[in-house]
Each structure stands twice: as C-alpha cells, then as structure tokens.
Amino acid sequence: MIAAVWFWLVAIMIAGYVVLDGFDLGAGIVHLFIARTDRERRQILASIGPVWDGNEVWLIAGGGTLYFAFPALYAAAFSGFYLALMMVLWLLILRGISIELRNHIESALWWPFWDVVFGASSALLAILFGTALGNVVRGVPLDANGFFFLPLWTNFRPGPEPGIVDWFTLIAGAAAFVALAMHGCSWVVYRTEGDLQQRARAWGAKTWWAVLASTALITFFSFRLQPHLEAQFAAHPWGYVFPLLGLLGLAGTRVFSARLRDTAAFLCSCLYLVGMLTSAAFGVFPYVLPSNVASQGGLTIFNASAANYGLYVGLAWWIPGMLLAAGYSIFVYRRLPAKVNE
Amino acid sequence: MDSALAVHRLHFAFTVTFHYLFPQLTMGLALLIVILKTIALRTGNPAYDQSARFWVKIFAINFAVGVVTGIPMEFQFGTNWARFSKDAGGVIGQTLAMEGVFSFFLESTFLGLFVYGEKHLSPKMHWVTAFLVFLGSWLSGFFIIATDAWMQHPTGYKVGAHDRILLDSFWGLVLNPWVFWQYLHNMLAAVVTASFVMASVGAYYQLVGKFSEHARIFLRTGVVAGAIAVVAMLFPTGDGQGRMLANHQPVTLAPMEGLFDTSEGAPIAILGQPDTDAMKLDNPLLVPGALSFLTYRRWGAEVRGLKSFPRDLWPDNIPLLYYSYHIMVGIGTLLIALMLLSIWSLWRGRLYESRPLLWALLLALPFPYIATTAGWMTAELGRQPWLIYGLMRTAAGFSPLVSAANALFTLIGFMGLYLVLGILFLFLIHQEIERGPQPAIAPAPGVPSPGVAA
C-alpha cells in the first residue's frame, strides 16, 4: 500500500516538474519565433528569470524522491537510458547557462548566440522528455537482474530490439514538443502585453491543433502497443477521470484563449499536461517500468520499491518538506508583477 | 570489465571535482555576505552594502555554474552506479531526496529575491533573504556530507534479502557520528576558500590602487574570517576527523601517512615518496613520535602500518592517496601561516600597506581550492576499495550494462562542455572584478535582469 502512495507522490512530483519547468521550456521553444526584437527576447527571459531555477528543482527533488522510494527503478532506468539521459544533462547545462550568462555582456554577437542555444536546448529537452515517457509506456527489454541498456536507435521499430528512438517514441517526443510549445505560448500570453502577447496568442492557437492531433495519435498508438493500458482502464473505469481531465484542459485552453481569459487558459494548459501524465501513470500502474520481453516481468511498485520502514519514514519528512516548498512557491509567484515590465 | 570500472570512476571523479569548485565558494561566500550585510545594517555604512552587492554578483555566477554542474551528480548515481543505487538507494536516496526537498526549494526560491530583490525589499527583509540562501546552502552541504559519511562509515542500516541494504534507523543515518567532524571540517573549508577569495580580490584592488575603501573591507573580512576558519580546520575538526579515521579506517590512515611498518612512537612524514614495491618511504623527512601522539595522544603509542593489513583491504591507489593527503596538509599549513601573519599585521594596522603580504594574499587564491580538492581526494581514495565501507566494493557498484566505451563517450562530452564552461566562467568573473563594486544600485545601462545570475 505504502508503495502505491509513493507511486502517486512521485507521479505528482514529475507532473509538477512538467507543468512548471514545462512553461519555461515552452517559452524557450517559441521565443525565437514570437519575439522579434531584442527587447521582446528580454521580456520572455524576464518572465521566466525569477522562477526557472526553482522549477528545475522539481526535477532534482522528484529524482531524489524516485531514488529513495524506488531504487531499483532509478538504477534500471537511469543506466538503461544512459545515452539519452546524459544528453538531457548536457542540454540542461547549456540551457541554464544560456539563460544566466546572456545578459552579462553587451554584444550584438553574444546575445543571438545564447538565444539560439536557449531555443535549441529547450526544444531538444522537450523532445527527449517525451521520448522517455514513450519508452516507459512501450516497455524495455529488462534482463533477469532487472537491468537493460538501450542504444539511441536500432531499426526505429518498437519491436523486440528497440532503441530509445523508434517511431512510437518519436511520436511521443513530438507530442511533448508541441504540448510544451503550446504551454509556453500560454505562459507568454499570460505574462506579457502588446505585440509580443498577440504573436504568442496566434502561435498558441496554431499549436493547439498540433496538440490535438498528437494527443489523438499518441493515445491511439499507446493503446495499440501496450495492452496493459486497456486492461488497466477496463479493470478500474474510474481511471477515465484522468484522460477526461486532460481533454477538459485541452478544450479549456482553446476556449479561454479565444475569450482572452489568459490566466484561465494557462491553467487549462497546466491541467492538460497533468491529465496526460496522470493518465499514463494510471495506465501503466502497478508497473513502473514494463518489460517488452514476454518472458520477463517488468518492474512494479512491489519489486522496485524500498523497504517499508524507509517509505514510512520518508512520508514523515516529505509531507512537511513539500508543504514548505509549496509555500515558498506560492510566495514567489504571488510576488511576480501582473505583467513583465520591461 | 576492469576498464569499465576505471572509466566510471573517472567519470564521477571528474564531474564531482569540477562541480565542487563552485559550491565551496558559494557556501562560504553566503556566510560572508550575511556578515557584510549584518555590519551594513548595524553601522549604516554604505560601503558595506556596496561590498555585499559586489559579492552577490560573484556569488550568482558561481551559483549558476554550481547548479548546472550539480544536476549531473545526482543523475550519475543511477546512470553510472546502478548496482550501488539498486542495493543502497533506499538508504542514501533518503538524504539525497531531503537535499532537494529541504535545501534546493529554499535556496532557489530566495536566491532570486536575494540577487534582484534589493530594490523591492526593506534592508531587513533583504538580509533575511541572504540568511535563507545561506541556510539553504549549508543544509544542502549537510545532506551531501551525510550521504558521503554513510558511504565512509555506514550506520542505521540492515542487510535484507538479495543483499539489499535497507534503512533501519532514520536517526542512525542522519546522526551518523562520522557526519559531525566531516561536516564541520568541510564547511570550514568552504569559509576558508571564500575568505581567501575575498582577501585576494581586496589585495588586488589595494595593490593597483582601486576601490580602496572596499578593498579594506574585503581584506578585513577575509582575513578575520579566514584566520578563524583555517585554524579551526586543523584543530579541532581536522584532528577529530583524523581520529575517526584511526578508529574506523586504520587501513586508510597507514598509507595516507606513508607508514608501512607497525611501530611504537610512529613518526609523521612531512615529505617522502611511498614505494609500494619495496614497501618503504623514500627520502623521508620525519617528525618522530608525532603520528602516535596525534592519533592516540601518547608519544609511544603503537600505530599499525600498512603491512599489517591484508592486501585486499588496502586502498587501491596508495601513492595518489598519500600525495593528496600531503598536499592538503602542506597547503593547509601554509594557509594557516599566511592568515596568522595577515591578521597580526591587520591588528598592528600595517596590512593595507604591506605590499609583500598583499602580494602573498593575491597569489594565494588558487591554493584553498587545491587543498579542498586534495582533501576530498584523500577521503574518497581512502575509502577504496570500498564503495560503502565494509559493505560493498567499488568494483561491485557500477552499472553492469553501460560499457566502457559508452561511459568514455559521455566522459569526453563532459570534459569538452566543462572546458567551455570553465573558460566562460573565468571570463565573466574577470569582467565583474574589473568592474568592481558600484556606488549605487544601478544595473548597467539597458541591461535588465532576466536570469538569476544576470
């Protein structure tokens, strides 16, 4: 039971990461297209400047929580997706310094260089995160010790010898890319005014269609490829609430955005991401990393979790710790001015 | 498989060594900035505020590089040390997760306000943000030291089915006796690094005749804090840690000191090269009886030499362990001498005009970094051949399916990336030092402040 509690707590932390860092990744993806002048670039950067570092802490804290609650999963997934994860690390480094170092030097060459680094690293990170989720849904070739190693690609087919990148995980990567691009647009709309806001709104509206299409595609192929999803939803029909939340969020993003209710549109975009991620989590439960080899069982919350004592002790510090963290976040977000003033 | 082990070890060693160049400054500097801001609040002297603001800029650049190079550290437990993570993650994952939940959220939240919020906050509130950033960074240090201490001297665990190491006592993990001295020793080292950096920049300004008022503040603060911290590194913290080692890792102490034969009245070797083939120390310069006294408080006490331990318990790189330890102690001794000379000169009112001493402080800049790095190498090489002392060997901990070639590929990637990062860092720090403390809160014209460290 306690392992199931931690499954959902980790899922919440990952969803928190995707929603929060998602909007600054998304802002990075779209800033080269929607910001026309250096001043507009600075406005976008200023909108994420005070918060992006805190958003990324959700990744670190979520990773740490995953580590102690499900050590066998942490060990298997991190070593198995080795090459992709190392690239994630390099991109996080490049992206962090592109945000932090851009405005240290006044130079017409320095700025555009870091802008491109910021845009490209944000885009690749979104794709890689989506690909990673696609890999979890598809399953990996676990060996008898519960380990695996995937090359970056093999024959681009999610068959018995898959790579990290195949056509299915690529769709997942594309879905994450367009979803975070839309999320980034709604953040920029919510945080800025004037021409920049208009352009972000227009791009967001176009991206919405791509999100709709990729949501349909990824849902269809996920159910085709991972039979456990269908079994899980059939056994526990209440679980349909998660995809329903995602669809509500997606519809709400469109409706509120058209009515210029920018805060509500941004929150709906958050809801869409939470709905999609919790649907995936619910769908694979109780697996944390399914196997795509028929003879091997996957990693589940039962065989990948830490001992009960540690899990109960963890609750005792995790709950007050995360309440504090939520308090800091609310404090900072409430202090942000209504719009970025630059 | 041997080569895979070597590459995985080098991978972690390289990334952690580079990473720790930055937090050791920010943790120490966080304390010094709180001190500068406290004096500013008490005296109302604007030069202290300006000094604090200058160091906040240096802090911010260091912090940014520390953050981006820190993320790979947590990841590497899983990517490169998967068997270790699988077996021990239920224990050390606790402290690593607590670091994220308790320190990083605190730090990242208040850092933005600390770096940019001065315009919008009252002086007292701004002091509070500085204090919270200090608190967050020192808490972070605690959780990392607790993790390392557990690997040096595991406590609060039991071994379950399939050799899984299970958490048995939360307080046993967090209040590990090894943590106490190691934490104090390490945090003092961070204060020493920051103090030397501050004094060095002050000495530079004083020598070239720039920012004289600030230069004196930097020198004063750096020398007073540095003198206290560097002496406390030797005693009681260095001494305390040495005796922990003598009690729990005697097979580490012997090669560290270059002691091959068990002896009564064992000497300390100040210089010498350990020859592990002939099992003796070449060209030794010895202080008789000193090792016995420092370890057991008796000049004639018996100290076990390396030969008395079974070979499969020996640390696997004895010369490097010996040199790391001697570099740490050697540099540490010189730093103590320099700081004592400086504080005496400060007290006599001569420091600001003493060019030789200012030159020495200026040139001392890299040495606390070298000593700290050597100290960490001593701790981690000394732990070998164990990954978790007495529980799991290093050779049993790395990821079974990540080949040497894949690990080398990413190691080379990190080397290239960190080279670029290091050059950028030096360039930007140089620029900030040349710009120097500014009289008022005035961001450079047309430069707003989007990023945390802009």
Calpha distance B89→A284 (Å, rounded): 23
pLDDT single digits (tens) B23-73? 999 999 999 999 999 999 999 999 999 999 999 999 999 999 999 999 999
Chain B positions touching A76 (Cβ under 8 A) are 82, 86
Indicate whether B447 pLDDT > 90.
no
Share of chain B above pLDDT 70, in %: 96
Task: Check B106 against A324: CB less than 8 A apart.
Answer: yes
Question: What is the pLDDT, as a whole number, of residue B449?
Answer: 44
Chain B positions touching A12 (Cβ under 8 A) are none
Question: What is the pLDDT, as a whole number, of residue B454?
Answer: 32
| Partner A contacted by B106 (CB < 8 A) | yes
Question: What is the pLDDT, as a whole number, of residue B453?
Answer: 37
Question: What is the pLDDT, as a whole number, of residue B146?
Answer: 96
| Separation in Å, CA B446 to CA A38, A105, A342 | 11, 11, 10
The amino acid sitting at B35 is I
pLDDT single digits (tens) B297-325? 888 899 999 999 999 999 999 999 999 99
Q: Which of A317, A311, A304 has the alpha carbon at shortest distance from B91?
A: A311
Question: What is the pLDDT, as a whole number, of residue A242?
Answer: 95
Q: Which of B14, B15, B68 to substitute to test the interface with A, most A CBs within 10 Å?
A: B68
Instruction: Quickly count: other Cβ atoms within 10 Å of residue A296's Cβ.
Output: 17
User: What's the rounded mean pLDDT across residues A250-273?
Assistant: 95
User: What's the rounded mean pLDDT across residues A201-226?
Assistant: 94
Residues 6 or more apart whose CB falls under 8 angstroms from that of B46 comprise B40
Chain A positions touching B106 (Cβ under 8 A) are 324-325, 328
Rounded to a whole number of angstroms, the distance from the CA of A255 to the nearest CA of chain B is 31
Query: Exposed (0-12), middle (13-18) or buried (19+): which is A145, by Cβ within 10 Å?
Result: middle
Q: Which two tokens stand for residue A75?
A: 């060990």
How would residue B446 be classed by pLDDT, with cut points 50, 70 and 90?
very low
Calpha distance B272→A291 (Å, rounded): 56
Give Dmax over CA atoms of chain A in angstroms. Answer: 61
Of A78, A309, A332, the CB nearest to B109: A332
Question: What is the pLDDT, as a whole number, of residue A105?
Answer: 82
Query: Exposed (0-12), middle (13-18) or buried (19+): which is B44, by Cβ within 10 Å?
Result: exposed
Question: Can you say whether residue B283 is alpha, beta or left, with left for phi > 0 and alpha for psi between -120 and 50 degrees?
Answer: left
How would residue B160 be classed by pLDDT, with cut points 50, 70 and 90?
confident
Helices (H) and strands (E) in chain A, counts: 12, 2
| Partner A contacted by B209 (CB < 8 A) | no
Of B79, B87, B111, the CB nearest to A53: B111
| Partner A contacted by B171 (CB < 8 A) | no
Q: Which of B377, B423, B371, B369 has the alpha carbon at shortest distance from B14?
A: B377
Q: How many CB pairs under 8 A join A and B?
A: 251
Rounded to a whole number of angstroms, the distance from the CA of B358 to the nearest CA of chain A is 29
**Where do the domains of chain A lie?**
2-335
- CA A91, distance to chain mean position in Å, is 15
Indicate whether B1 pLDDT > 80.
no
Indicate whether A161 pLDDT > 60.
yes
Question: What is the pLDDT, as a whole number, of residue B418?
Answer: 97
Indicate whether A17 pLDDT > 60.
yes
| Partner A contacted by B14 (CB < 8 A) | no
Of B166, B431, B451, the CB nearest to A49: B451
pLDDT single digits (tens) A169-196? 999 999 999 999 999 999 999 999 999 9
pLDDT single digits (tens) B102-126? 999 999 888 888 888 888 888 999 9
Task: Check A99 against B83: CB less than 8 A apart.
Answer: no
Of A54, A63, A147, the CB nearest to B400: A147
Task: Check B167 against A309: CB less than 8 A apart.
Answer: yes
Task: Check A67 against B164: CB less than 8 A apart.
Answer: no
With CA atoms as reference, the chain B residue closest to A342 would be: B448
Indicate whether A5 pLDDT > 80.
yes
Indicate whether B407 pLDDT > 70.
yes
Of A143, A145, A313, the CB nearest to B170: A313
ipTM of the predicted structure?
A: 0.92
Mean pLDDT of all residues in chain A?
92
| Partner A contacted by B115 (CB < 8 A) | no
Q: Tokens 């604090």 belong to which residue? A: B52
Rounded to a whole number of angstroms, the distance from the CA of B8 to the nearest CA of chain A is 12
- Is residue B428 within 8 Å of residue A101, measured between CB atoms? yes
Element (H, E) at B320: helix B318-347
- Is residue B32 within 8 Å of residue B13, measured between CB atoms? no
Task: Check A104 against B96: CB less than 8 A apart.
Answer: no
> What is the four-CA torsion angle of A49, A55, A56, A61, rounded to 10 degrees?
150
Rounded to a whole number of angstroms, the distance from the CA of B363 to the nearest CA of chain A is 27
Rounded to a whole number of angstroms, the distance from the CA of A127 to the nearest CA of chain B is 19
pLDDT single digits (tens) A227-242? 899 999 999 999 999 9
Instruction: Please tell me the least confidently modeled range out of A50-54, B147-151, B252-256, B398-402.
Output: A50-54
Question: What is the pLDDT, as a whole number, of residue A338?
Answer: 76
pLDDT single digits (tens) B75-94? 999 999 999 999 999 999 99
Chain B positions touching A93 (Cβ under 8 A) are 68-69, 71-72, 417, 421
Indicate whether B441 pLDDT > 70.
no
Q: Which two tokens stand for residue B391?
A: 């529980």
Sign of CA dihedral B264, B268, B271, B276: positive
Task: Check A100 against B90: CB less than 8 A apart.
Answer: no
Question: What is the pLDDT, as a whole number, of residue B445?
Answer: 43
Question: What is the pLDDT, as a whole number, of residue B207?
Answer: 96
How would residue A342 be classed by pLDDT, with cut points 50, 70 and 90?
low
| Separation in Å, CA A14 to CA A80, A123, A240, B157, B222 | 19, 19, 20, 29, 43
